[in-house]
């Protein structure tokens, strides 16, 4: 056995060494002298979820995944004690938030492990989805360095492009405001007169100018500020706080400089966090009464800011009282009066430093608190302006593997511990803004560092950031959340987040940087400077942005709290469940509420200031959570919603200090207790306390900072829970019993939703479960929710932009845009057509907002048509739209196959593609697209997100690369064609006049822009559909139209020989154009990007077409609808509809064997069919509906009818134009005929004949598949037919009222 133990120990030691190697600072092949003190020896758990690696030299390394840390400790113990631990497996257990060993020694389910050493504590596997797991980066091997270099190279380009888009967006959105200001000034008015504090701003500006002049006069006399102060003291004219700096503001990134401008100063402390980061802690002091410490004293100390004994945890200065006492005496000696001030720690917001508290002169919150008698400390989170770590360097990705959790559980405790260590106080006041509140809420939570609450007298949260606001739905935020972690790191890197911002800070002059910073942040976060002192605005942005990790800006999609939804439901319906059962059930409910709560009894009192107009965070939602008793241990000692305030107004508004004033009743309460509160420190005398009370008694923050956790227990404004027994019943009694929802109690009729529905306005949809807002809208339209809503505005835009596919669409239709009228047709044709296409898109978006269903235009035509005509309108619209959709993927895939084979011809000149090769390749691509479109919705959304991102990037690259790399000069021509020729020299590609030829080029624009209806068909899978889907339609048409025109201009100015492009042996005009104007390798590179973009476009077309097919099959429009409309139970997607479209598409591509003109009919069919379908419901809405149309939340208002008329007139003109052949007279034969009228008109004629002969007898328009009842007649339930019923019975007789009325009568009423 000794031999076995020795062997086992040696084996464990080898495994430990190998595992420790990938967690060490340097790799195994480093020199022993270098590697020795940097080798990993143990993982220490700061919290159950936050391990750090301790090295042999006592250093700390961050960013260790839980499993790796646990495994390191297990192997170490196994190597040291193989007999007792060999073979043990450490596993994670799924636990609730409080079922872990807390930092103060309290245990629950893991009490049996309480005596185990810290390194063997088993952390929970559960982490909040907002804080995704951090990646593991090992020591700097060659492979890892290569990986880092690749990430830095890709992110340098892509993140800079992302920043460029943001900057350009801010510039464009500033243009209307600039024009407005210029117009006001031309009328001899002041545009700033509208500002709410205009007079106060003028007064302050006058004071600053006078102070600057006075300072300059002092400098001219050769006196320092201190000599001037002495002179004033001798003459009896002395200011309480004499400035030590002055003159014109140089706009420095230096908080100490601005402190000296108001008679204060700042000393900087260095603090080491438990994971080895060096962070800055600024101490604001009054130089008249405080002597700063030495630089050596202010340096960082050991990382053990917390020590643990057994399972307990106390702050280091609590366990070392003798050391604390000596430090406290040293602190007292630095005050001339011998009476120190109560400490206040302030934490900053997102992308800021604590300098944000020091920018408003005397009205800066930090300086105001200091001059009100407090000892103010400003914490700056890790990295900041100067990233520093004890062991890691800037280029090491481990230095940047952290997020908001590490700020909360590492940085904040380090700051609190150092401040209390320096001052000797037992507690401090904590004031945080935005991100600072987030890290505090995280740190105080159960399972994190809840004992930190014992060291905080009150937590003052300004703009508390717990729940995201409406801005989270903006496109760029959606984009950052939608892309995968891998794609995120490719785009934004694995180091600092867009470090070029900090580079610009050092390059640009302060005024330019401040102005640019305001414009960019205003565009990003939708705030204004209306309430700020405009004269100081450039100064405000000198302290942002700072270095933050790219990981800290990445967050998964926020998961809605189920309890919040239920509480909101009760509040909305004014119906609260009552508490039933015995005392035991009541106790069980209370216990369940405690278990679900975020905080335990150690949490400090909260004081909350919520900005009422804040779109970045939703502070009201946090207040609702606290008011409803969801946090039984939290005492809200003050809360205020400042209605007109935006996110930064709570620290920068001119009147922000006034907004902290409290009500008279609260002031009276504080008046009675102020003396007691100020005596808490046991340092102040009663006279001192009375003197400060007079200064502070009406300012809630100044008093609350000194309150202890027990002083406000009986506060009359501590919590509104006690005032609302009904809400108390909700939070205490209903958790123990299963909630049920009564459909009869809702009484929510169709008229209460902003929809135009097939159901009557006074009918009530019936459902057996609680629905979301989106599902309620769909139910009011007559349909049951059957899809997961995993699309958003961004992902819907991604699908539609993929369907639009500007680059591949342009490449596919270049023959028509260039071939009919030459370059004037490209530039003028696109510009003119886009105006009217925008009219169609806007009108369609309005319909989508009112009727967000997969049936889309088909459903709208049925509902809006005059009485008796609804089924026919739906029939024509549906079939035309289906033809457009079903031809989309084949036409794209056909063009893509032609480009692939053309690339083969370029590289192998002897290869000539045959028709059968084009057909087989097209069929293969369609099968691949069918497989992708059969996946779950979430996968499809991510695939389209990546595809659209590539589409956008490829489009940018092509627009830039073609003019930059063109070889026209080497061919003896100017780099660009003269503008006169581009805009005025028509190419005679038809026998028609130039004006008609120009109109004929619209086929390219119409076909390219026919994909923006995709969000309409995806609306049943989109969240917030009646707003997000119409926005996605308009965004697609607008962005597509603008960048499509840019591409047209690039090609028009660089093309050399139009006839050679059209008649090339390659058989693909885009490929021949690229070879004409670019070197071969460059041309092949662009052609390759076009092919990849075409693949994404074809897949988007397939997804959109399958949803349309499913919607029509749900209403039994097709033969075999019973099979087509089935939703796959595994993927929750219409798989059968996908493969039905695949088969139809492959059959349509048989036109390839009829020649290029026959195959080209696929494009014109799609264009004509799409716009007929687009315009039919718009035409009905404009000319027949009148007041029957109920606009959704997104609408055009009074412009709706004029825009609709323009859209209808445009399509009425274009349908015959698109059917014209390019030649006339004797030249017109079967080979040159435009077969669009036959290929589209033939099937549509057959559809009309089918209607007359048979379909009119059974097709009644959209089929309601949800039960509904008349308001007040709840017994008469109409049974909605299940669209997924396998029986395939399409008879509407199954939808019958119990009183004998047929459901068709109801639908007829809706059509009427």
Residues 101, 113: Cα–Cα separation, whole Å = 8
Residues 967, 927: Cα–Cα separation, whole Å = 39
- Looking at residue 724, its pLDDT comes to 33
Residues 703, 1092: Cα–Cα separation, whole Å = 64
- Looking at residue 745, its pLDDT comes to 37
- Looking at residue 220, its pLDDT comes to 73
Q: What is the pLDDT of residues 85-96, one digit of tens each?
A: 444 444 333 333
Task: State phi, psi for 109 to the nearest 5 degrees.
Answer: -70, -15
- Within 8 A by CB and 6+ apart from 723, the residues are none
- Looking at residue 453, its pLDDT comes to 92
Mean pLDDT in residue range 1192-1221: 86
Question: How many residues does this entry show for the chain?
Answer: 1312
Residues 505, 544: Cα–Cα separation, whole Å = 9
Residue labelled with tokens 């185990």? 116
Asked whether the CA dihedral 1106, 1112, 1113, 1118 is positive or negative, the reply is negative
Question: For the chain, what is the total number of helices (H) and then of strands (E)?
Answer: 53, 16
Give whole-number Cα distances, 860 to 293, 782, 848, 1173, 1261, in Å.
75, 13, 8, 11, 10
- DSSP element (H, E) containing 1213: helix 1200-1218
Q: What is the DSSP string of 982-1029?
A: HHH-----SSS-HHHHHHHTHHHHHHHTTTTTHHHHTGGGBTTHHHHH
- Residue 1130: other Cβ atoms inside 10 A: 8
Give the confidence band of 110 by pLDDT, cuts at 50, 70, 90.
very low
Give the confidence band of 498 by pLDDT, cuts at 50, 70, 90.
confident
What is the β-pairing status of strands 265-272 and 278-285?
A: antiparallel
Q: What is the pLDDT of residues 755-765, one digit of tens each?
A: 565 555 556 56
Mean pLDDT in residue range 844-862: 81
Residues 1067, 778: Cα–Cα separation, whole Å = 47
Q: Does residue 378 surpass a pLDDT of 90?
A: yes
- Looking at residue 567, its pLDDT comes to 53
Residues 386, 295: Cα–Cα separation, whole Å = 18
- Looking at residue 1145, its pLDDT comes to 86
Give the confidence band of 381 by pLDDT, cuts at 50, 70, 90.
very high
- Looking at residue 1111, its pLDDT comes to 75
Q: What is the pLDDT of residues 65-81, one digit of tens each?
A: 778 888 888 888 877 76
Question: Looking at residue 933, what DSSP letter applies?
Answer: H
Strand partners, 376: 284, 344
Over the chain, what is the mean pLDDT?
75
- Residue 80 and residue 294 in contact, taking contact as beta carbons nearer than 8 Å: no
Residues 265, 263: Cα–Cα separation, whole Å = 7
- Residue 1286: other Cβ atoms inside 10 A: 10
- Within 8 A by CB and 6+ apart from 930, the residues are 1102, 1138, 1139, 1141, 1142
- Looking at residue 139, its pLDDT comes to 74
Mean pLDDT in residue range 661-665: 43
- Give the CA-trace dihedral at 822, 824, 825, 826, to 10 degrees: 90
Report helix, strand or coil for 999: helix
Is the whole-model pTM more than 0.85? no
Q: Does residue 771 surpass a pLDDT of 80?
A: no
Q: What is the pLDDT of residues 553-594, one digit of tens each?
A: 875 444 445 555 555 555 444 444 443 444 455 555 566 677
Q: Does residue 28 surpass a pLDDT of 60?
A: no
- Within 8 A by CB and 6+ apart from 304, the residues are 274, 316
Select, from the ranges 13-27, 525-539, 1166-1180, the one with the highest average predicted confidence (pLDDT).
525-539
Q: Which residue has the higher pLDDT, 1244 or 1115?
A: 1244
Question: Looking at residue 1280, what DSSP letter applies?
Answer: P
Lowest mean pLDDT among 115-119, 219-223, 474-478: 115-119
Q: Which residue has the higher pLDDT, 408 or 755?
A: 408
Q: Does residue 444 surpass a pLDDT of 50?
A: yes
In three state form, how does the secondary structure of 162-200 look?
Answer: HHHHHHHHHHHHHHHHHHHHHHHHHCCCCHHHHCCCHHH
Q: What is the pLDDT of residues 504-542, one digit of tens each?
A: 888 888 888 888 888 888 888 888 888 999 889 989 999
- Give the CA-trace dihedral at 282, 284, 287, 292, to 10 degrees: -30
- Looking at residue 27, its pLDDT comes to 63
Residues 377, 343: Cα–Cα separation, whole Å = 7
Mean pLDDT in residue range 453-460: 91
Lowest mean pLDDT among 167-176, 354-363, 1220-1229: 1220-1229
Report helix, strand or coil for 725: helix
What is the β-pairing status of strands 1273-1278 and 606-611?
A: unpaired
Q: What percent of the chain has pLDDT over 70?
A: 74
Mean pLDDT in residue range 163-187: 80
Give the confidence band of 668 by pLDDT, cuts at 50, 70, 90.
very low
Q: What is the pLDDT of residues 1152-1166, one digit of tens each?
A: 776 666 666 666 677
- Residue 417 and residue 424 in contact, taking contact as beta carbons nearer than 8 Å: no
Q: Does residue 353 surpass a pLDDT of 90?
A: yes
Give the confidence band of 993 by pLDDT, cuts at 50, 70, 90.
confident
Query: Closest Cα partner for 491 from 798, 801, 163, 797?
Result: 163
* 508: its two tokens: 């640009």
Burial degree of 878 (CB within 10 A; 0-12, 13-18, 19+): buried
Mean pLDDT in residue range 777-799: 73
Q: Would residue 1225 be called left, alpha or beta, if left means φ above 0 and alpha means ψ between -120 and 50 degrees?
A: left
Residues 1233, 1226: Cα–Cα separation, whole Å = 12
- Residue 788 and residue 1286 in contact, taking contact as beta carbons nearer than 8 Å: no
- Looking at residue 769, its pLDDT comes to 60
Query: Closest Cα partner for 399 from 305, 275, 270?
Result: 275
Q: Which residue has the higher pLDDT, 807 or 380?
A: 380
Residue labelled with tokens 């770590």? 389
- Residue 751: other Cβ atoms inside 10 A: 16
- Residue 1100 and residue 947 in contact, taking contact as beta carbons nearer than 8 Å: yes
- Looking at residue 463, its pLDDT comes to 93
- Looking at residue 434, its pLDDT comes to 92
- Give the residue ranges of DSSP H helices in 92-238: 142-186, 198-220, 225-235
Give whole-number Cα distances, 605 to 259, 710, 713, 1265, in Å.
30, 9, 9, 52
Q: Does residue 705 surpass a pLDDT of 80?
A: no
Query: Closest Cα partner for 1076 from 805, 814, 821?
Result: 814
Q: How many CA atoms lie within 13 A of 1267 on its CB side?
A: 13
- Residue 764 and residue 749 in contact, taking contact as beta carbons nearer than 8 Å: yes
Q: What is the pLDDT of residues 995-1041, one digit of tens each?
A: 888 888 888 888 788 777 778 877 887 888 888 888 888 888 888 88
Strand partners, 272: 278
Report helix, strand or coil for 43: strand
Q: Does residue 799 surpass a pLDDT of 60?
A: yes
Give the confidence band of 259 by pLDDT, cuts at 50, 70, 90.
very high
Mean pLDDT in residue range 943-970: 84
- Looking at residue 5, its pLDDT comes to 64
Strand partners, 227: none
Q: What percent of the chain has pLDDT over 90?
A: 12
- Looking at residue 270, its pLDDT comes to 94
* 1302: its two tokens: 């047929």
Q: What is the pLDDT of residues 807-850, one digit of tens each?
A: 888 887 888 888 888 888 888 888 898 889 899 999 988 888 88
Q: What is the pLDDT of residues 711-746, one digit of tens each?
A: 333 333 333 323 333 222 222 222 233 333 333 334
- Residue 1035: other Cβ atoms inside 10 A: 22
Angle at 330 between CA 329 and CA 333, to 5 degrees: 85
Residues 817, 1003: Cα–Cα separation, whole Å = 7
Give the confidence band of 698 by pLDDT, cuts at 50, 70, 90.
very low
Query: Closest Cα partner for 787 from 1267, 1110, 1112, 1136?
Result: 1110
- Residue 1105 and residue 896 in contact, taking contact as beta carbons nearer than 8 Å: no
Mean pLDDT in residue range 375-384: 94
């Amino acid at each position: 056995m000794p031999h076995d133990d020795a062997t086992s120990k040696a084996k464990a030691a080898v495994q430990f060494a190998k595992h420790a190697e990938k967690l060490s600072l340097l790799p195994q092949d480093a020199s022993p002298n270098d590697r020795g003190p940097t080798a990993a020896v143990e993982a220490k758990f700061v919290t159950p979820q936050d391990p750090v690696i301790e090295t042999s030299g006592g250093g700390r390394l961050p960013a260790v995944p839980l499993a790796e840390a646990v495994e390191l400790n297990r192997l170490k113990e196994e190597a040291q004690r193989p007999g007792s631990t060999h073979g043990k497996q450490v596993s994670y257990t799924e636990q609730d938030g409080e079922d872990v060993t807390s930092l103060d020694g309290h245990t629950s389910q893991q009490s049996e492990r309480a005596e185990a050493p810290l390194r063997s504590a088993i952390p929970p596997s559960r982490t909040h989805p907002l804080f995704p797991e951090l990646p593991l980066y090992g020591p700097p091997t060659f492979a890892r360095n290569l990986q880092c270099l690749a990430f830095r190279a890709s992110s340098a380009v892509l993140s800079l492009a992302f920043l460029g888009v943001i900057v350009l967006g801010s510039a464009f959105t500033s243009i209307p405001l600039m024009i407005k200001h210029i117009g006001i000034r031309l009328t001899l008015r002041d545009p700033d007169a509208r500002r709410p504090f205009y007079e106060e701003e003028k007064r302050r500006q006058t004071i600053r100018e006078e102070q600057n002049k006075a300072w300059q006069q002092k400098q001219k006399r050769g006196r320092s500020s201190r000599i001037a102060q002495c002179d004033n003291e001798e003459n009896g004219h002395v200011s309480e706080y004499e400035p030590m700096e002055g003159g014109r503001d140089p706009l420095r990134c230096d908080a100490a400089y601005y402190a000296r401008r108001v008679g204060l100063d700042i000393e900087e402390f260095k603090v080491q966090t438990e994971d080895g980061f060096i962070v800055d802690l600024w101490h604001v002091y009054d130089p008249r009464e405080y002597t700063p410490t030495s630089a050596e004293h202010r340096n960082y100390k050991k990382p053990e800011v917390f020590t643990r004994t057994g399972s307990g945890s106390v702050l280091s200065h609590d366990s070392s009282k003798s050391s604390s006492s000596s430090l406290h005496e040293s602190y007292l000696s630095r005050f001339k009066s011998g009476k120190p001030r109560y400490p206040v720690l302030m934490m900053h917001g997102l992308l800021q430093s604590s300098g944000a508290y020091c920018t408003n002169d005397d009205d800066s919150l930090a300086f105001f608190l200091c001059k009100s008698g407090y000892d103010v400390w400003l914490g700056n989170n890790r990295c900041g302006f100067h990233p520093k770590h004890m062991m890691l360097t800037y280029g090491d990705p481990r230095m940047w593997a952290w997020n908001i959790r590490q700020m909360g559980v590492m940085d904040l405790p380090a700051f609190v511990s150092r401040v209390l260590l320096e001052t000797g106080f037992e507690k401090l006041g904590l004031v945080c803004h935005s991100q600072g509140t987030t890290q505090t809420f995280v740190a105080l939570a159960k399972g994190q560092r809840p004992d930190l609450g014992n060291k905080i007298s009150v937590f003052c949260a300004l703009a508390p950031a717990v729940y995201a606001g409406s801005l989270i739905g903006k496109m760029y935020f959606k984009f950052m959340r939608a892309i995968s972690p891998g794609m995120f790191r490719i785009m934004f890197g694995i180091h600092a987040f867009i470090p070029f911002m900090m580079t610009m800070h050092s390059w640009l002059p302060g005024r330019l940087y401040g102005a640019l910073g305001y414009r960019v942040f205003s565009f990003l976060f939708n705030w204004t400077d209306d309430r700020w002192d405009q004269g100081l605005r450039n100064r405000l942005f000198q302290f942002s942005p700072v270095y933050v990790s790219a990981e800290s800006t990445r967050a998964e999609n926020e998961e809605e709290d189920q309890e919040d939804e239920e509480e909101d439901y009760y509040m909305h319906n004014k119906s609260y469940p009552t508490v039933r059962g015995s005392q035991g059930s009541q106790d069980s409910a209370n216990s369940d509420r405690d278990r679900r709560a975020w905080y335990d009894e150690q949490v400090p009192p909260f004081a909350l200031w919520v900005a009422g107009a804040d779109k970045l965070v939703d502070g009201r939602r946090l207040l609702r959570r606290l008011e409803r008793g969801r946090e039984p241990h939290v005492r809200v000692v003050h809360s205020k919603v400042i209605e007109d305030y935006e996110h930064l107004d709570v620290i920068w508004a001119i009147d922000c200090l006034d907004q902290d004033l409290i009500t008279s009743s609260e002031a009276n309460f504080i008046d009675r207790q102020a003396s007691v509160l100020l005596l808490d420190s046991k340092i102040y005398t009663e006279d001192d306390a009375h003197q400060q009370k007079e200064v502070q008694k009406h300012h809630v923050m100044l008093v609350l900072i000194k309150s202890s956790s027990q002083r406000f227990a009986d506060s009359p404004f501590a919590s509104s829970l006690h005032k609302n027994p009904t809400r108390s019943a909700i939070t205490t009694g209903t958790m123990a019993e299963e909630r049920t929802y009564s459909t009869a109690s809702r009484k929510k009729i169709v008229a209460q939703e902003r929809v135009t529905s097939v159901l009557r306005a006074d009918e009530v949809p019936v459902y057996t479960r609680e629905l979301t807002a989106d599902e309620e809208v769909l139910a009011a339209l007559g349909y049951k929710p059957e899809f997961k809503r995993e699309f958003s505005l961004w992902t819907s835009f991604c699908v539609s932009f993929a369907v639009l596919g500007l680059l591949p669409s342009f490449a596919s239709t270049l023959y028509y845009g260039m071939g009919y009228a030459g370059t004037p047709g490209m530039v003028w044709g696109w510009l003119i057509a886009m105006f009217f296409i925008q009219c169609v898109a806007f009108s369609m978006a309005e319909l989508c907002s009112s009727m967000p269903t997969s049936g889309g235009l088909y459903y709208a035509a049925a509902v809006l048509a005059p009485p008796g005509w609804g089924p026919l309108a739906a029939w024509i619209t549906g079939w035309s739209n289906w033809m457009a959709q079903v031809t989309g993927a084949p036409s794209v895939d056909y063009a893509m196959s032609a480009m692939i084979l053309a690339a083969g011809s370029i590289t192998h000149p002897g290869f000539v593609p045959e028709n059968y090769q084009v057909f087989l390749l097209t069929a293969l691509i369609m099968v691949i697209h069918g497989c992708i479109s059969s996946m779950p919705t979430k996968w499809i959304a991510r695939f389209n997100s990546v595809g659209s991102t590539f589409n956008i990037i490829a489009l940018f690259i092509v627009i830039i690369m073609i003019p930059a790399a063109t070889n026209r000069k080497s061919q003896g021509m100017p780099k660009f064609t003269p503008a006169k020729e581009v805009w005025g020299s028509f190419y005679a590609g038809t026998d028609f006049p130039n004006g008609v030829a120009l109109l004929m080029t619209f086929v390219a624009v119409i076909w390219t822009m026919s994909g923006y209806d995709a969000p309409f068909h995806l609306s049943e899978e989109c969240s917030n559909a009646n707003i997000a889907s119409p926005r996605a339609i308009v965004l697609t048409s607008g962005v597509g139209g603008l960048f499509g025109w840019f591409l047209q201009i690039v090609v028009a100015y660089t093309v050399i020989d139009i006839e050679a492009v059209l008649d090339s042996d390659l058989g693909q005009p885009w490929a021949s154009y690229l070879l004409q104007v670019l070197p071969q390798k460059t041309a092949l590179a662009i052609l390759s990007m076009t092919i990849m973009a075409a693949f994404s476009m074809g897949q988007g077309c397939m997804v959109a077409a399958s949803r349309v097919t499913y919607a029509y099959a749900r209403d039994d429009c097709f033969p075999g609808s019973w099979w087509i409309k089935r939703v796959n139970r595994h993927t929750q997607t219409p798989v059968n509809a996908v493969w039905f479209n695949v088969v139809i598409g492959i059959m349509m591509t048989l036109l390839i064997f009829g020649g290029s003109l026959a195959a080209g009919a696929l494009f014109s069919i799609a264009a004509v069919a799409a716009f007929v379908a687009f315009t039919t419901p718009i035409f009905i809405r404009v000319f027949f509906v009148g007041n029957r149309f109920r606009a959704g939340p997104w609408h055009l208002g009074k412009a709706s009818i004029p825009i609709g008329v323009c859209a209808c007139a445009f399509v009425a003109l274009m349908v015959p134009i698109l059917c014209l052949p390019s030649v006339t007279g004797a030249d017109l034969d079967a080979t040159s005929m435009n077969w669009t009228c036959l290929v589209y008109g033939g099937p549509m004629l057959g559809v009309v004949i089918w209607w007359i002969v048979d379909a009119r007898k059974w097709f009644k328009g959209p089929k309601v598949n949800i039960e509904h009842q008349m308001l007040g007649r709840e017994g008469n339930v109409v049974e909605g037919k299940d669209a997924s019923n396998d029986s395939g019975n399409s008879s509407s007789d199954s939808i019958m009222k119990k009183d004998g009325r047929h459901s068709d009568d109801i639908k007829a009423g809706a059509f009427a």
